[in-house]
Amino acid sequence: MRLTLVLLPFLLAAQSDSPIQSRIRSAPLTPAVRDSLLQAVSAKDYAKIESTLATAPDGATQALLGAIEFVAGRLQPAAGAFQRADAFSPLDDKDRFTYAMALATLGDTDSARTQLDRLQKLHPDQSLYLYWLARLDYFQRRYDDAVAKLEHAAKLDPGSPRIWDNLGLNHDMLGQSAEAQQAFEKAVELNRRLKTPSAWPPMNFGALLFRMQKLTEAETVLREALRYDPQFAQAHYHLGRVLEKTGADAAAIEELETAARLDPAMAEAEYTLSLLYRRLNRTAEAAKALAEYKKRRGSTGP
């Protein structure tokens, strides 16, 4: 099991990432090596990138290789390059953080924590490292530890929606619904002020409100999440559950089918559909949805 991080911006940047190219141009490389490396990066020729940088095995060069590999989404080679670079000379803060993100995504949570702890000790007044340490706590089900870190992070950066959103998630896992609601409300409010709001805070809040049977409020924030990201399968799924509870069966089916279509790995939408179809005496559709649920779960049992 791995900690899932959002790497898409990095992957997209690989196509025309001027920061990486600028870093290559400013690196202590010979003109011939620099030109060869720039060509290899443009061509996404990673074998050539690695062989080119192998001619200069020092800390700066290996850190550069780690950054290139990370931007390309090649996390295992990136982690190896950063590890080699750190053995030559300590990584700078940016590279150490990138190293930690690679390790976390690869599932090496303890090593990622070691790198983030080191950064946090160097910068105790920065919320970034506390936030990511709390993300690791959540992944390892250390919810009390995560709450403590996130509360500290919120004091350092009270305007961060993602800090409040993750605080809500951890309170929710501890069964502290009132505290979770307060944190999510703050996250959603701050998120609305962003130039590009994230769909996650209103989706997480909507899921909590559904479980609290606050259906009108849940529908409102889930529709808000879908305004930010109409392709967000989880928001469609939770909205479908809310609509079913309010008796809007046709709309619920539409939302659940959309969720299942947008995320082929989502099994729960098919299961909820099967139950809804069964309640409506649409037995053929119920059987089809249940079969798809079992297929997605890799199960043939009941």
CA distance 282 to 284: 6
Confidence class for position 19, pLDDT limits 50, 70, 90: confident
CA distance 283 to 279: 9
- Whether 111 shows a pLDDT value over 70: the answer reads yes
How confident is the model over 48-54, as a mean pLDDT? 82
How confident is the model over 9-23, as a mean pLDDT? 57
> Helices 233-245 and 249-262 meet at what angle, rounded to 10?
160
Summarize pLDDT for 118-132 with one digit per residue, the tens: 999 999 999 999 999
Confidence class for position 18, pLDDT limits 50, 70, 90: low
- Sequence ranges of the domains in the chain: 1-106, 222-302
- Whether 104 shows a pLDDT value over 50: the answer reads yes
What is the predicted pLDDT for the residue at 55? 64
CB atoms within 10 A of CB 285: 15
User: Helices marked H in the chain — which ranges?
Assistant: 8-13, 18-26, 31-43, 46-53, 59-71, 75-88, 93-106, 109-122, 127-139, 143-156, 161-173, 177-192, 200-211, 215-228, 233-245, 249-262, 268-279, 283-297
Confidence class for position 8, pLDDT limits 50, 70, 90: very low
What is the predicted pLDDT for the residue at 44? 86
Q: What is the rounded average pLDDT for all residues in the chain?
A: 91
Global confidence as pTM = 0.86
CB atoms within 10 A of CB 296: 18
Summarize pLDDT for 152-207 with one digit per residue, the tens: 999 999 999 999 999 999 999 999 999 999 999 999 999 999 999 999 999 999 99
CATH of domain 222-302: 1.25.40.10
Please report, rounded to a whole number, the percentage of residues in the chain having pLDDT higher than 90.
Answer: 76
How confident is the model over 47-57, as a mean pLDDT? 78
CA distance 191 to 228: 11
- Whether 230 shows a pLDDT value over 70: the answer reads yes
